[in-house]
Amino acid sequence: MKFNLQRLRFERLSRKVSQEDMAQALNINRTSYHKKENGKIKISVEEFATMLEVLNIPQSEAGHFFEQNVPEREQSNVAQFLKTDEEACAEVRGY
């Protein structure tokens, strides 16, 4: 999984929260926040929780900030599994 920094920025801007506001909530300066939002400094779990709070996003929606990276070779395995699963469902319906 990969953290989606663009999503973080989008959510911050759409809620009209400045980098300065976010930095204050995290007890860091604006430059440090800017580096976090741009991937130059890692965001800790605690910082992410604070960001969600500032953005008024429930923790249950935290998953929207992560991208799943599935290698292409595994995508075909997933597609084959789904096909097999669909076939199994069709077989069950036939009974």
* pTM for the whole structure: 0.70
- Residue 66 carries which DSSP code? E
- Count of structural domains, the chain: 1
Residue that is written with structure tokens 């741009």 in the block: 38
Backbone angles phi, psi at 15, to 5 degrees: -100, 5
Do the domain assignments include residue 88?
Answer: no
Give the structural domain span for 28: 2-69
Do the domain assignments include residue 32?
Answer: yes
* pLDDT one-digit tens code per residue, 6-28: 999 999 999 999 999 999 999 99
Do the domain assignments include residue 43?
Answer: yes
Burial class (CB in 10 A: 0-12, 13-18, 19+), 76: exposed
Q: What is the pLDDT of residue 68?
A: 77
Name which residue leads in pLDDT, 75 or 16: 16
Q: What is the pLDDT of residue 76?
A: 53
Question: Which letter, b or e, does each residue of 26-36 get, where b requires 16 or more Cβ atoms within 10 Å of its Cβ?
Answer: bebeeeebbeb
